[in-house]
Amino acid sequence: MAQEFSGTDLFGDPIVTRQEGRGRPEHEWSIENSNKVLLAFARGLSVKQAATAIGVSVPTLRKHYFSEVAKRDAAQLRMEMTQLARLNGLAAEGNVAAEKELLKQLDKMRQRDQLRAMAPAPTAKPEKLGKKEAAAQAAGQVRGLYEPPPPPGQMN
């Protein structure tokens, strides 16, 4: 199959014109798309959103970028550490602005971690009852017609 590249589109993807053959050409892995996928995961996007970002389907993303998908859970942490290492390298060379930014980023991350530690733990949803269990529970809460009313609240 002969393919001809005729420039790039708005997003920097190559425009491929086909001369012969049937069907869509198979996607080819590229470092640019690999980096886009890793950045999408570092940003916290889903696999579907990452696939959309590079213009492929989810199965194609999983097929060609399986190692990037495997790194998905650690992508944000790895990106932060890479950025901190770069800032640290510049600061070690004597770049004062990089040193200030490094301290600012470390402080910001420390505050974020403290907020996460202080945040209340997510509460588990109550288990959903089936029809029979719900009916039995409702039957247990039925009060009689001649039940005395509850006592009045305390006045302060």
Let me know whether 15 and 66 are in one domain: yes
Judge whether 53 lies within some domain.
Answer: yes
What does pLDDT average to in each consecutive run of 10 residues of the chain (156 residues)?
A: 60 66 79 90 92 91 90 89 92 92 93 89 83 84 74 77
Give the domain extent around 55: 3-70
pLDDT of 125 reads 83
| Full-model pTM | 0.57
Q: How many domains does the chain divide into?
A: 2
Let me know whether 7 and 64 are in one domain: yes
Let me know whether 53 and 91 are in one domain: no
User: CA 72 to CA 66: how far, in whole Å?
Assistant: 10
Output DSSP code: residue 11.
T
Let me know whether 23 and 59 are in one domain: yes
User: What are 10-54's pLDDT values in tens digits?
Assistant: 667 666 666 666 777 788 888 889 899 999 999 999 999 999 999
In CATH, what number is assigned to the domain containing residue 23? 1.10.10
The overall average pLDDT reported for the chain is 84
Let me know whether 22 and 51 are in one domain: yes
Let me know whether 61 and 89 are in one domain: no
Other C-beta atoms lying within 10 Å of the C-beta of residue 13: 13
pLDDT of 1 reads 46
Q: Is 102 buried (19+), middle (13-18) or exposed (0-12) by CB count in 10 A?
A: buried
Let me know whether 50 and 97 are in one domain: no
**Chain centre distance of CA 44:** 2
Boundary of a domain, candidates 101, 118, 135: 118
Judge whether 20 lies within some domain.
Answer: yes
